[in-house]
Chain A
Amino acid sequence: MESPKSRRLTVTLERVVAGGAHVTQVADAIVVTWRDIDIAISPILGQQGLAALYRRSLYLCRAAHPWLAANLEGGDTRMDLTELKAVLTSQDSATAAAGGGAHLQALYELLGSLIGPSLTEQMLRSAWENSFGGPPAQDLST
C-alpha cells in the first residue's frame, strides 16, 4: 500500500541523484534515515523488533532490487547499517537511491499494514521530518 508519505522518500532521493550527488552521499542520506528510524522505533518496539521489520522490508523489495538483499541469506538478525552502506556504495547513485528508497518505503508500508497509517505516521514523524522534511533535496549534493 503506497502512501504519499512513503512515496516522498523515493522522490527526495531521486532529486538528490538528479542534483549530481555521489553514491556515498546517497548512501549516507539513507543510513542517516535508518538511524533516525532506529531512534524513533527501537524505544517502542525494541531493537529486535526493528531488526525484524528491517529484514522483512529487505525481503519485500528484493524482487525489484536483488543486489540490495544479497546479505539476507546470511541468517544475521541484526540491523547492520555498516553492511547496508557497503552494499549501497557498490552501486551507482541512481541504483543505490532507487534500492535504498524502496527499502525505506517498504518499511513504512509494512509498519502501516501492521499498526495502521495513523500510528505509523506518529511513530516515524521525527525520522521523516529530519530526512525528508528539511532542506530541499539538491542542498544535500552541495
Chain B
Amino acid sequence: MTDKVTINRLPTGVPGLDEVLGGGLPEFSFNLIAGPPGCGKTTLAHQMMFALATPQRPALYLTVLGEPSLKMLRYQQQFDFFDSSRLNHSVRFVNLSDDALTGDLSAVLRRIVAEVEKHNPALVFIDSFRSVVLAGETEGNPHNNLQHFMQELAMLMTSWHATTFLIGEYFTETDANPVFTVADGLIWLRQAVQRNSMVRKLEIMKMRGQSTLAGLHSFRMTTAGIQVFAQAGAVIAKNGEPSAELAGERLQMGVPKLDAMLGGGLPRGHSMLVAGPSGSGKSILAGAFLAEGARCGETGVIVVFEQRPGSSRNRQIDGLIKSGQVGLVNTDADDISIDEVLHLLLKEIRRLKASRVVIDSLSGFELKLAPTFRDDFRESMLRMVLTLVGEGVTVLMTSELEDRYTDLRFSPYGTAFLTDAIIVQRYIEVESRLQRVMAVVKVRASNHSNELREYSIHEDGIHIGDMLPAQEGLLGGRPTQRKIVKARSPAPKADGAKPARTVSRRE
C-alpha cells in the first residue's frame, strides 16, 4: 500500500485531447486555456464542461468581461455537445461583469468565493480571465495585485475540490506572467495562417504531475466540437511490432509474377512505394493488392485523394468497399494534416482489424495538405509510415512520378527512403507505341529480381511479361535495339577462327 495521493484523471470528452494530455485532466488542477481571439478557447471549455459536468459534479461557468453571455450562449448552442436542458442543473452560468467593472480584484474574488460556496461546483470556468486581469490593472501596481489574486484563487479552488479553468486571450507565452506561473496546466491554442489556409493547433505547454505529448497537435472544429489529432510519432500503437511468427510471412500482391520479382511476395509489415507516371497502373496494382488480401480473408483500408467524391476508383475496389472487406477513408476536408489522416486511418484499421493499407496517392495527399504542413511533409510521412507499420499493417503507397528520362528518380518528394520496398513503373517507346515496364528497385532485407519487365493492363488486371533483352536504354524512355555485330576478325590463325564478339551499339 502506498501513502502517496492518487490523482484522478478526468476524461475531457474532447476526442484526442486525453491522449495529448497524457491520460486526461488531473482532478482539482488549476488550468489556463490561452490563445488569440477566435482560436476556440471558449468552445474547448464548453465541450469539456458538458462532458464532465453531472448533477453530482456540477460546473459553474463564470463569465466576466469580453464576449457577452448572451452571444456566447447563442453561438455555443450551435455545437452538438451543448445541452440546454442541463442549464441550472449540472451546468450553471453566472455573470460577474458588474463586479469586474469595478476594477477591484478583491471584490471579484469575494464574488467568486460567494458563488463557489453557494453552488459547490466541482468544475469552475472563468471566461475571460484576461478581462479580470485587465480590469485589475487599472488599479495600479498590477503585478503584486494579480499575483496575490492568482494565489488566493488557486488555493481557494483546490481547497474547494474544484477543477478550474481560466480562459484568456494571451498572445505570447514567453511573458513572465503570474498566471502562467501559478497554473498547473497551460493549454495553448493557436491558428497558423499561410496563404489562403488556416490551421488550428494545440500545445500542452505545462501539465503538472503527468507526462504530456510534446509539440503542436492540429485540431479541427466542426459542429460536433473540437477533435484533436495528436502528432503521428506520438501515437505509436500499443501492439507495436508484428508478432515474430508473422514477421517472416510474405503477402501476395495479386499480380502474377510480381511476387516472384519481389523474392516471394511483400514481407508482412513492410511499406511499399509504387512510383510511376500517370496511367501506368499504380492504382490498379494497389487494387490488386487489396483484392488479394480479401481473397485470403484479410481486410484492408484505402485512403484516396485524387478521385472526385462519388466517382468510381475501379470496380474491383468499389466492390470490396461495398462488401465491407475494404474500408474507405474519406478526405473531403480542406487544409488537412497528416496527423488527421493518420487518425482516420487508424480508426478504420482498428474497426476492420485491417492488415493491408493503401494510400493512393502521396501526390494527391500533398496537394490536400494545408501549406503549413507541406514543409514538413517528409518528416511527417516518416512518422506516419512508422506508426502504420507499428500498428502491424502492410502499407502500399502510390506516387506520381513525372517522366523525366534524364534522371532516374522514384519519388518527387525524396520519400523513397521511407519505404521498405519500391516498385517503379515507366513508359517506353518501342516501334511507335507506348509500352510499360516495371522493376523492383528495393525490398529491404530480401533478395529480389533486378529485371525490367514489360507489362500490360487488361480488363482482368496487370499482366507482367518478359524482359526486353533485345532493347537497351529502357529507362531513358527511348530504347534502342541491341544489335549483334561481329567484331572485325583478326587475321586467321592457324588454330582456327575466334568466335564473334557480341557488342551493342546505338543505332
Contact = CB atoms under 8 A, between A and B. Distances in A.
Given A114-B70, A115-B77, A48 B98 contact: yes
Contact of B98 (A44, A47, A114, A123): A47
A43 B98 contact: no
A70 interface: no
B94 to A, nearest CB: 5
Interface residues of B, number: 16
Nearest to A114: B74
Interface in B53-87: 63, 68-70, 73-74, 77, 84-85, 87
A42 B95 contact: yes
A47 B94 CA distance: 11
B93 interface: yes
Interface of B: 63, 68-70, 73-74, 77, 84-85, 87-88, 93-95, 97-98
Given A43-B94, A43-B95, A45-B95, A122 B68 contact: no
17 contacts: A44-B73, A45-B95, A46-B97, A47-B98, A49-B69, A53-B70, A115-B74, A116-B74, A116-B77, A116-B84, A119-B77, A119-B84, A122-B84, A122-B85, A122-B87, A122-B88, A123-B88
Nearest to A117: B84
Given A116-B84, A118-B85, A122-B88, A48 B97 contact: yes
Contacts of B68: 45-46, 49
A44 B77 contact: no
Interface residues of A, number: 16
Interface in A32-71: 42-49, 53
Interface string A109-142: 0000011101100110000000000000000000
Nearest to B96: A46
A104 B329 CA distance: 53
A46 B85 contact: no
A115 B73 CA distance: 6
A44 B85 contact: no
Given A45-B95, A48-B98, A53-B70, 20 more contacts: A42-B95, A43-B93, A43-B95, A44-B69, A44-B95, A45-B68, A45-B69, A46-B95, A46-B98, A49-B95, A114-B70, A115-B70, A115-B73, A116-B74, A119-B73, A119-B77, A119-B84, A119-B87, A122-B84, A122-B85
A123 to B, nearest CB: 7
Nearest to A122: B87
A46 to B, nearest CB: 4
A68 B95 CA distance: 29
Contacts of A47: 98
Contacts of A43: 93-95
Nearest to A44: B93
A115 B69 CA distance: 10
Contacts of A123: 87-88
A79 B63 CA distance: 21
Contacts of B84: 116, 118-119, 122
Contact of B69 (A46, A116, A118, A122): A46
Contacts of A49: 68-70, 95, 97
A110 to B, nearest CB: 10
Interface string A25-37: 0000000000000
Nearest to B85: A122
Nearest to B93: A44
Contacts of A45: 68-70, 95
B74 A44 contact: no
